[in-house]
Structure 1
């Protein structure tokens, strides 16, 4: 059996220059499917470079400086006569009140979500998601010795994406991503009769494998109780830990790896979960659970992918800062960002290669500077529609 390091070496030798990304909603569905431990084999089964060659159940290889998108859910503004949140008084001419801290922002968002009505949805309908994404990519080329060399990350223009996901998870969905040339349309194979294409965007050319429907807007396996949800998130982190590479030797391969803490993994999982589950009960529980994760901080005047400015609840570790962005007055959830940060190794436990189970491996093939955008995602609207391609 090949060692983890030899697989990494093969990965580095065969990595092609970055090509176009799969639409974000497809990536997130695949990443969500990867949370099923029974389907997760060992290290590095898929390699970036071929568009949507992302297999269900395989671990993700993502590059800091190459887009790793996290999606946040959109919650319509519906205060239902609740008292104005902190900061609103200043807009009305009254004396300003102290702005809330990170935990208070999350609890205010949860209170706002509690007043958001659940949309009526039949099993045969579709969840429509209108979003904007900003991605960074690391330009790369092969030097004279054939090794891949990565340059400074470049950030894309905001890109509009419209997605249709099956309410009950059994029907085929669609992603339409606007590009400068022409829209890119990606089929999403539904889980029909407990079977689904192994590569969900290529149902005609890949074999069918057993699956469990992933409802886009129905109760599922995600708990709606904050305590149970937090336990669920930490269980995922323990069963499928994330490892981040550090530095690179003369051969371009990582000098070592650091495992993300369960706290950081749980916080990142909440951002990812919100991209897939727009049920108000789940989102309310997610905000209350996030408020209990140690190390969260608040940042002011943070822009999402569409340019809206809000207040962000953040957590930073291993060279990246996760940001959950909220409207500064209503605390509607606007979107999420992934931003490069200082990689402090002072108290880090560095290993030569990951040990035990691996849920996700992040290879830092580029060298982003603190503050560089890795990815941004903003949700503009969600709605229930009758068929794929229909807009509300």
Structure 2
């Protein structure tokens, strides 16, 4: 029998005290919590400056002969011993419900007109090159305009490579895009626009019935995905794009909690290397996870992992002269050597059979949210940015 069970059984027949009965015990507990201790336990509440010291609290509560409501990261309470962590969620549905409560308690960013929500992420992707492969770690930043109107910017760069499990590294390894690569997107203000972008999601209502219909509309586009996975995939897309708006993310978590077939992953690692607890739905050869902090249930990020080895083969389309010229121009603009590029592209002028391997355990794609704040303006653009215009 563990100690917590023994303590709970000790007080099962003691009636709960009234506010008057508990006032003295509560004062003793708070006084003990405020007292300086060399080994205080610290519980940090995300995105606030509040820290609650719990040293000596358990002893004070038991000495007073009362049970104090257990402090949970999601704001709920239960009968238990003060300062001890809440029981882990029993299943994926409960985990998502706790994550929704945590997200709903997050402060909303309220940028003024002309300002931007600045979102920072760490990324991991898998690069396959004809029987070889590697994991590529990078960064991604987004500047999302207040109110969803105006241009928004995405900035990506690659920073390092690592071996993928069970597969050889490419030789020679491809050159990383270490310099920032900017994409400036113009979103038109037309009510019929159907493309999902972060700037449009800035103005979405929080009504869950409306959001469910919007998810179903997005899911219907994924005709190449098995039907039972389409809704989950669309939810994941929306969660990924709404990380800057916690109230919307909370609503999406509540909807996701009702999806059939979701399961819990006891340990999942996000693109920033943080260990968390995940919710997933497995596909034929991959597992897509939403990852949360194990104690606060704050959303950390998402990842897609290969659950078995997979080999695919196809015949490549030959590159035309126009294709080669376009690729070389793009490469030169990023500092690559034109002659070297043309030499490497020469073999792709003819059709050839290509075999790609994805080993079990490879992180096919992952994003971790590492920062959200408000920026006064867009940064200066990197050289040679890409420009995209979303159609109506």
Deviations 1:7-64 (A, max 9, x none): xxxxxxxxxxxxxxxxxxxxxxxxxxxxxxxxxxxxxxxxxxxxxxxxxxxxxxxxxx
- 1:317 aligned to which of 256, 262, 283: 283
Structure 2: how far apart are the matches of 1:79 and 1:225?
Answer: 31
Gap change, CA 1:170 and 1:97, over 3 Å in 2: closer
Structure 1 gap segments, 5+ residues each: 1-74, 140-149, 195-209, 244-258, 345-363
Normalised to the residue count of structure 2, the TM-score between the two structures is 0.56
- 1:187 aligned to which of 168, 183, 188: 183
Confirm whether residue 225 of structure 1 aligns to residue 191 of structure 2.
Answer: no
What SS is found at the alignment partner of 1:366?
Answer: strand
Structure 2: how far apart are the matches of 1:119 and 1:184?
Answer: 26
Q: How does 1:30-45 map to 2 (within 5 A)?
A: none
CA apart distance, 1:176:
2.8
Structure 1: how far apart are the matches of 2:196 and 2:278?
Answer: 33
Structure 2: how far apart are the matches of 1:76 and 1:217?
Answer: 27
What SS is found at the alignment partner of 2:217?
Answer: helix
Which one has the largest radius of gyration?
2
Tell me the equivalent position of 2:217: 235
CA apart distance, 1:120:
1.3
Confirm whether residue 274 of structure 1 aligns to residue 239 of structure 2.
Answer: yes
Q: How does 1:59-74 map to 2 (within 5 A)?
A: none
Tell me the equivalent position of 1:37: none
Structure 1: how far apart are the matches of 2:209 and 2:254?
Answer: 9
What SS is found at the alignment partner of 2:154?
Answer: strand
Structure 2: how far apart are the matches of 1:138 and 1:372?
Answer: 10
Structure 2: how far apart are the matches of 1:325 and 1:215?
Answer: 20
- When the two chains are superposed, the root-mean-square deviation of aligned CA atoms in Å is 3.7
Q: How does 1:92-171 map to 2 (within 5 A)?
A: 94=84, 97-139=87-129, 150-156=130-136, 158-171=137-150
Q: How does 1:53-92 map to 2 (within 5 A)?
A: 77=47, 83-85=71-73
Structure 1: how far apart are the matches of 2:135 and 2:378?
Answer: 30
CA apart distance, 1:219:
4.7
Does structure 2 retain, via aligned residues, the 8 Å contact 1:131–1:161? yes
More helix by share: 2
Q: How does 1:2-13 map to 2 (within 5 A)?
A: none
CA apart distance, 1:101:
1.3
Deviations 1:113-148 (A, max 9, x none): 111121112232111011100110110xxxxxxxxx
Tell me the equivalent position of 1:330: 296
Normalised to the residue count of structure 1, the TM-score between the two structures is 0.56
Q: Higher RCO, 1 or 2 (CA under 8 Å, sep at least 6)?
A: 1
Confirm whether residue 175 of structure 1 aligns to residue 154 of structure 2.
Answer: yes
Gap change, CA 1:318 and 1:330, over 3 Å in 2: same
Q: How does 1:239-388 map to 2 (within 5 A)?
A: 240-243=221-224, 259-261=225-227, 263-277=228-242, 278-342=244-308, 366-388=356-378
CA apart distance, 1:163:
2.1
Does structure 2 retain, via aligned residues, the 8 Å contact 1:79–1:112? no
Structure 1: how far apart are the matches of 2:265 and 2:135?
Answer: 22
Q: Which moved more, 1:179-188 or 1:127-136?
A: 179-188
Structure 2: how far apart are the matches of 1:213 and 1:233?
Answer: 10
CA apart distance, 1:225:
2.8
Structure 2: how far apart are the matches of 1:388 and 1:151?
Answer: 41
What SS is found at the alignment partner of 1:292?
Answer: coil
Structure 2 gap segments, 5+ residues each: 1-44, 53-69, 160-176, 311-353, 381-392
What SS is found at the alignment partner of 1:288?
Answer: helix
Deviations 1:208-259 (A, max 9, x none): xx898956386534x5233442333223323x1341xxxxxxxxxxxxxxx4
